[in-house]
A = this chain, B = another copy of it.
Amino acid sequence: MAGLIAPVARLIEEFSKLPGVGTKTAQRLTYHVLRASTDDARALAKALVAIKEEVAYCSICCNITEVGVDPCDICADPRREAGRICVVEEPLDVLAIERTGEFRGRYHVLHGAISPIDGIGPERLRVRELIARVGNGDVEEVILATNPNLEGEATAMYLADMLEPHVAAVTRIARGLPVGGDLEYADDVTLIRSLQGRRQVDRS
């Protein structure tokens, strides 16, 4: 950018590469760093380098883990059911499910979803590793918890086909009205899914 001194222009450019950060936001962040303490800037710089150096992938579930911790804490935990695998797209999805406290099995992280438009086929995901895990027949259930969007549904359908011969139950997380939601404002597809997924009221 004209009139900008080099180190400022460079940081604006680097910030602009982050997702959802436009030029204006990048300028604002850069001038924030200029005013902030040198220690704060160094701490962010250090964390950026550290995440690339200290993060590895679990050889079982493909989730992120600290370098040297393999298998990851969840895969190594004997209290977690080995026979139940929840398949998610991203490491953040594992966190979301862990927060619920509802699931006591293990995970498998695909690192993406099938997306023909973006040129992402199953070979770009950690599918082979998943098939290998269920190959020995010890897994009773695989829960497909990919996102309820086009790519996530396509991925779930593909995985269901691949897993069926090896696993007793291949299930998909329920799609329906979000709790606290309003039927009147629900989109049609969600409402259809919600009707299709209806269940007998449990009076016990």
Contact = CB atoms under 8 A, between A and B. Distances in A.
A5 B89 CA distance: 18
- Copies of this protein in the assembly total 2
Interface stretch (A49-57, A152-160, A180-188): A49-57
Contacts of A54: 6-7
A119 to B, nearest CB: 16
Contact of A7 (B29, B32, B42, B50): B50
Contacts of A92: 27, 31
The secondary-structure label for the interface of chain A is helix
B20 A51 contact: no
Contact of A11 (B18, B34, B48): B48
A170 B51 CA distance: 53
A36 to B, nearest CB: 8
Contacts of A50: 7, 10-11
A44 interface: yes
A42 B47 CA distance: 10
7 contacts: A4-B95, A8-B91, A19-B29, A30-B51, A33-B51, A34-B55, A35-B111
Given A7-B66, A11-B47, A14-B47, 14 more contacts: A1-B95, A5-B55, A5-B65, A7-B51, A7-B53, A8-B64, A10-B47, A14-B44, A20-B28, A33-B51, A34-B64, A41-B49, A45-B45, A48-B48
